[in-house]
Structures are given as C-alpha cells and as structure tokens.
Structure 1
Amino acid sequence: MMVYLFNILAAVFFTFFTHEVYTEIPHTALMSLSLFLGYYGVLWLFSWFYNKRHFKKVPMAIGLFLFYIKELWWASLKVTYDSLTPTHHMKPGVIAYPMIAKSDIEITLLANFITLTPGSLSIDISEDRSILYIHETYIQHGDIPKYKEKLRNGFEKRILEITR
C-alpha cells in the first residue's frame, strides 16, 4: 500500500513539475495527460514491484469502452430508424440471462452497460445472483439464444477480462 501511495504522489509531483516547466498557462487537458503519463511512467519505472497484468488491463479497458461505443452507435441507429419510420419493428421481451459474473463490480458493470445501451434495460437479479433479467426491445422469436451468446461474447467477456 505504501508503494502505491508513493507512486501516486510521484505521479502528481511529475505532473505539476512538467506542467510548470513546459507551460506557463494552465491547461486542464495537458494536466490530465501529464498526470496519466506521469502515473504510468512511474509505474513502468517501478514495475518490478507490481504484477505485470496491470499494464495489460489498460488496453482491455479501452477496448471495452470502444466496444460499448460501437454497440451504442448501432443500437441508437436501430432505435432511431424504428422511431422515424411509420412501421414499428419492436418485439419486446424479458430475457433471463445466466451470468458468469459473480462479484458485485462485475454484475454492476454488466447491468449498467446493458442499461446504457438503447433498447435494453436491466430489470432485476435473481436471489442467488446467477441470473440477470433484461428487457430487450428488439427480440425476434428465435433470437433469444443468439442474444445471450452476443452478451456473453461481448460485454461480459470484456468485463471479466478486466476484473479477473
């Protein structure tokens, strides 16, 4: 814990040092970038104290964010198209999704990513925390297994890679 606190203090010091040396006008974006680069620079320099998986999780988190942006884009287009056309293609339904995620953070992230995607909403979690109930707006008759597989290989897989 002390090494972690030392690294945070060193990163903050590095941020303000580089900010004062290279600029005279405060820029929030430059300070944020300096803090990020300083923090990971210090971690890289002292990496023999740390588990190397930490450096692999940052690109995974960026990948999860980009995957969410892609899903958000396609779901928004689908909802927009359905709203603007005279015929509605909505076939709403509730899906019982058996989760692999077990910890609070994994379940919370999964439920929030599903809810933040247009056309879907996390409703409830079973008492044994193994099933997530999801309201999906666009479900055709035979698409439920395909939708569950899409969730398993999409959001849940990426969340589990980051948290485990």
Structure 2
Amino acid sequence: MIKNRFLSNLLLSFIWVAITGTFSVENFLFGFLLAFGLLWIVSTDRQENAYFLRGPKIIAFIFFFLKELIKANIEVAYDVITPKHYMQPGIIQIPLDAKTDLEITLLANLITLTPGTLSLDVSEDKKVLYVHAMYVKDREAFIADIKNGFERRLLEITR
C-alpha cells in the first residue's frame, strides 16, 4: 500500500512537471508536495494509511540527520584547525531498542556517517551497539543523544 501511494505520488509529480513545462528540482518538489496533499484529500482511510503518517516523519528525519551531520562536521573541523585538541575519545555501549537487523543496520550506518563517530560492533544478542566517539564528555549524555535522536526517530519510521 505504501509503495503504491508513493508511486502514485511520483507519477503525479512528473505529470505536474510535464504540464508546467518547468524542469527544475524546485518545481518537482512543489509537485510532489501538491500530489501528496491531493492524495491525502482523496484518501478514505487516513488513519490506516501509513504513507501519510510516515512521509512527514521521513522528511523530518532527513532534516534532523542533516542538522546532526552539519553540527558534527563543524565540531571535527574546529578541532582540526585549532592548535589545541578537544578530543575525549571513548568506546560507548549503547543499549538498543531496535530489534530487527534492518533497524540495527540503519542505526549503525547513520551513526557511522556522522563525523566523529564509528559503529564498531553489535553484541551477539543484538541488545548492545558499540560505538567509538571522538568527543565523549559525558557517557550518559552521549547515550541519551543517540537513543532520543537517531534511534527514536528511526524506530518511528520503521515501525
């Protein structure tokens, strides 16, 4: 059902671009949002339709990830260009609420994509993720940031 709604949304977006004759990213995004709104209006089962619930969460997650990515890049770049190093490296055990292989893999990859952090391993029982971080001022705060940031938002999308 989600795939059908998404493909319908893409098709309507391309139709919008073809009708307007303006082939730009902005026009496509506008058409995508317009099609999303139209599909939502004509949908009869809004409460049961996961596409309309997950779509905004995915967009919010992308913006959250970009914010975290920029913040981490600035922190690492500042540490590199200044004479004093502010690194406080450590390996942290993060207890996982993610249960499936897909959820754990996505979480580990998102953490690794963020500069200054690297996912090292997952425990045999898949309850702990080991992460190396360059800046660990407070272990509990670091764990809370991952759990309340990446993991919580990721689980909202995948479940």
Offset of residue 8 of structure 1: 3.2
Give the drift of 1:129.
1.1
Contact 2:9 2:32 in 1 (8 A): no
* Separation of aligned partners in 2, 1:145 and 1:49: 39
CA deviation after TM superposition for structure 1 residue 81, in Å: 1.2
Superposition map of 1:34-113 within 5 A: 34=31, 37-38=34-35, 41-42=38-39, 44-48=41-45, 51-113=48-110
Between the aligned residues of both structures, percent identity stands at 37
**Cα deviation 1:59-90 (Å, max 9, x = unaligned):** 21122112212211221121111111111111
Q: Structure 1 counterpart of 2:19, which letter? A: V
Q: What residue is the counterpart of 2:113 in the other structure?
A: 116
Q: Which has the greater radius of gyration?
A: 1
Q: What root-mean-square deviation, in Å, do the aligned CA atoms of Structure 1 and Structure 2 show?
A: 2.7
- Could you say what secondary structure the match of 1:48 adopts? coil
Aligned residues: 158
8 Å Cα contact 1:11/1:39 also seen in 2:
no
The runs of 5 or more residues in structure 1 that have no matched partner are none
Partner of 1:124, secondary structure, is strand
TM-score, structure 2 normalization: 0.81
Is 1:161 the equivalent of 2:156? yes
Give the Å deviation of 1:44: 4.1
Aligned-residue offset at 1:22: 2.7
Are the counterparts in 1 of residues 5 and 51 from structure 2 also a CA contact under 8 Å?
A: no
Give the whole-Å Cα distance in 1 for the aligned partners of 2:9 and 2:135: 50
TM-score scaled by length of structure 1: 0.79
Q: CA deviation at 1:151?
A: 0.9
Point out where structure 2 has 5 or more consecutive residues left out of the alignment. Answer: none
Q: Are the equivalent residues in 2 in contact too, given 1:8–1:39 (CA < 8 A)?
A: no
Post-superposition CA distance 1:30-52 (Å, at most 9, x none): 34653564366335423428724
